[in-house]
Amino acid sequence: MKNKSITQPLTTCIAITEKAIKITQGCGQKISQLKAAAINDKTDEEITRGFDILLKEKKLKPKSPGRIILSIPRQACATGYARLPSTRPDEIKEMARLQAGKLLPYEPQTIVFSYRTLRITAEGYADIILLIVHQDIVKRYLRLLEKYEFRPQEITIDAEGMPGWLALGKDVSPEEPVMLVDLDSGCGRLDIIAGGSLLYSRAFGLLAPPVEYKLRLLDEINKSLIAYDKEDVGQKPAQGFITGADESLKLIDEDFMKNFNFKCISCPQTQNMPLKADSAVSISDLKENSFASLLGMVLSAKRPSFNLLPEEIIIRREKDAYQRQVYISIGLFFLIAATLAAAMGMDVLSKRSLKQRLSRQLQNLSSAALGIERMDKKLSLLKNHLEQSSSCLDILTEVFRIAADDVRLILLEYDASGPLLLRGQARTIAVVFNFVNGLEASGRFKGIQVRYASKRKVKNEELADFEIVCPLEGK
């Protein structure tokens, strides 16, 4: 008897850029498909046309849906760095939410954010990198993908795939920062990777004729490295790689590499790329498009550090899974009932055998019911969390409306059953009490207490540290 082959899970990475829709698929740490379709712009009609080309003319095989990752261009997102006065994950998340609201000029409830802790300092601070995007961008992509039954479990930026690409047999130090320059059609991106994770990323336009391409690229690389130094989030790069679309990479020669004070080499995007025996890789698509980040995501065993899938979508999918479990359990119940009815005319021996089978089926039903109960509890917790988050966002919006430009909030602790705790800094004590007066006048708080307000000097500049307790009106 022949052994059945075990089907390995498929990973699909989809990227929608200004010039193309790119899809890379792989399973078992090998690439099975790599294709792109050119688009004229990012309108819904053009994106739909691009997917039609990939699925029909280029005969992309969807296979099993498996794991799906949506890659968003770096230029569609904002990034930022912050040092937070906590090492507790729950506090870091809430502080990160506060910081995210400051980086984009949108209402807090209209943004999606994710973060990664870079390091914990000896003084008890957490250094984090933030990734923020407007929810309309994410939801639009999801709506377009839904038409083709692509439902991503993870949404991240393109730069997140570069650590995986770097791991494809590149000779690099595991700890020293590495500069990666990824050249795509009409644009480029510089990433700094350290310890197998993304540390910094900057995207830039790169529309230039061949005679000016190198000068324009060098200027953008220098701007990116200067910006990286200003962030003060890591050491300077010790090594560099330039990769990307084949036609763009042809313009980079050895003389260009001499512009850097560290070793930098040009590297084809498909170098050391493992292929399945029956792989469908379109070589012509590699000329104008970079697949480096997609290859890294598909081949990496690590999950992306950032996931921009909105929380409400996660909850909806949990609810759908819960309903499916209910339907399965109901079907199993009726199957048992039908079996019991059919067993009425059987002899004793058959009934004894049937009893054993029914016992096993009841055990399965019990396990399914237990799973449903657990999922129901999880959905209740998520629902309560969303209700509290909505209330928290209203209060957060009100606090930031009242705060003056010279009031810096460091910590906001909110419990639906307790008071609001504010900790921060101001330029003077007078500013602190003006802030308190504004909070009292808002009508949301009552009996506000100033636990402390003290002055100190930092680099010859006076600052006032404060902690304020704000009981909520009606609680």
Q: Can you give the pLDDT at residue 92?
A: 92
* Domain annotation covers residue 132: no
* Domain annotation covers residue 213: yes
Residues 327 and 258 in one domain: no
Residues 156 and 64 in one domain: yes
Of 53, 71, 62, the closest CA to residue 10 belongs to 62
In residues, how long is the chain? 475
Cα–Cα distance measured from residue 235 to residue 118, given in angstroms and rounded to the nearest whole number: 13
Transcribe 226-266 into DSSP letters.
HHHHHHT-SPPPSEEEEEE-HHHHTT--HHHHTTSSSEEEE
Residues 205 and 347 in one domain: no
Q: Kindly compute the dihedral angle of the four CA atoms of residues 149, 154, 160, 165, in this order, to the nearest 10 degrees.
A: -60
Phi-psi category of residue 201: left, alpha or beta, with phi > 0 → left and psi -120 to 50 → alpha: beta
Residues 265 and 344 in one domain: no
Residue 383 CB partners (closer than 8 Å, separation 6+): 315
* Domain annotation covers residue 215: yes
Q: Can you give the pLDDT at residue 288?
A: 94
Cα first-last separation, the chain? 71
Residues 342 and 199 in one domain: no
Q: Can you give the pLDDT at residue 386?
A: 46
Transcribe 22-47 into DSSP letters.
EEEEEETTEEEEEEEEE-SSSSHHHH
Of 299, 324, 343, the one marking the end of a domain is 299
Report whether 470 contacts 448 (CB < 8 A): yes
Pairing status of strand 187-194 against strand 178-184? antiparallel
Report whether 310 contacts 135 (CB < 8 A): yes
* Domain annotation covers residue 259: yes
Residues 229 and 348 in one domain: no
* Domain annotation covers residue 97: no
Of 299, 330, 356, the one marking the end of a domain is 299
Tell me the sheet residues that pair with 275: 31
* Domain annotation covers residue 260: yes
Report whether 194 contacts 219 (CB < 8 A): no
Cα–Cα distance measured from residue 151 to residue 69, given in angstroms and rounded to the nearest whole number: 9
Residues 329 and 225 in one domain: no
Cα–Cα distance measured from residue 174 to residue 193, given in angstroms and rounded to the nearest whole number: 10
Cα–Cα distance measured from residue 389 to residue 393, given in angstroms and rounded to the nearest whole number: 6
Residue 277 CB partners (closer than 8 Å, separation 6+): none
Residues 390 and 407 in one domain: no
Of 376, 368, 371, 422, the closest CA to residue 395 belongs to 422
Residues 181 and 47 in one domain: yes
Owning domain of residue 16: 11-75+138-299
The two three-digit tokens of residue 171, written as one number: 């000779």
Of 395, 412, 433, the one marking the end of a domain is 395
Residues 391 and 419 in one domain: no
Reading the chain (475 residues) residue by residue, the pLDDT tens digits are 344 444 568 899 999 999 999 999 998 789 988 999 999 999 999 999 999 999 887 777 655 568 999 999 999 999 999 999 999 999 999 999 888 888 888 888 899 999 999 999 999 999 999 999 999 999 999 999 999 989 999 999 999 999 999 998 777 877 889 999 999 999 999 999 998 999 999 999 999 999 999 999 999 999 999 999 999 888 899 999 999 999 999 999 999 999 999 999 999 999 888 887 777 787 889 999 999 999 999 999 888 999 999 888 878 877 776 777 777 878 777 787 777 666 665 555 565 666 677 777 767 666 666 666 666 665 565 555 545 544 666 777 788 888 867 788 888 887 767 788 888 888 888 888 888 888 888 888 888 888 888 888 776 778 888 999 988 876 6
Residues 268 and 205 in one domain: yes
How far, CA to CA in Å, does 190 sit from each of 159, 243, 246, 371, 382? Answer: 9, 11, 17, 46, 38
* Domain annotation covers residue 100: no
∠ CA(405), CA(409), CA(415), 5° rounding? 135
Report whether 137 contacts 104 (CB < 8 A): no
- Report the CATH number at residue 29: 3.30.420.40
- Report the CATH number at residue 420: 3.30.1360
- Counting the structural domains of the chain, the total is 3
The two three-digit tokens of residue 393, written as one number: 């966002």
* Domain annotation covers residue 361: yes
How far, CA to CA in Å, does 89 sit from each of 31, 85, 95, 334? Answer: 36, 12, 10, 46
Residues 452 and 381 in one domain: no
Of 71, 12, 21, 34, the closest CA to residue 275 belongs to 34
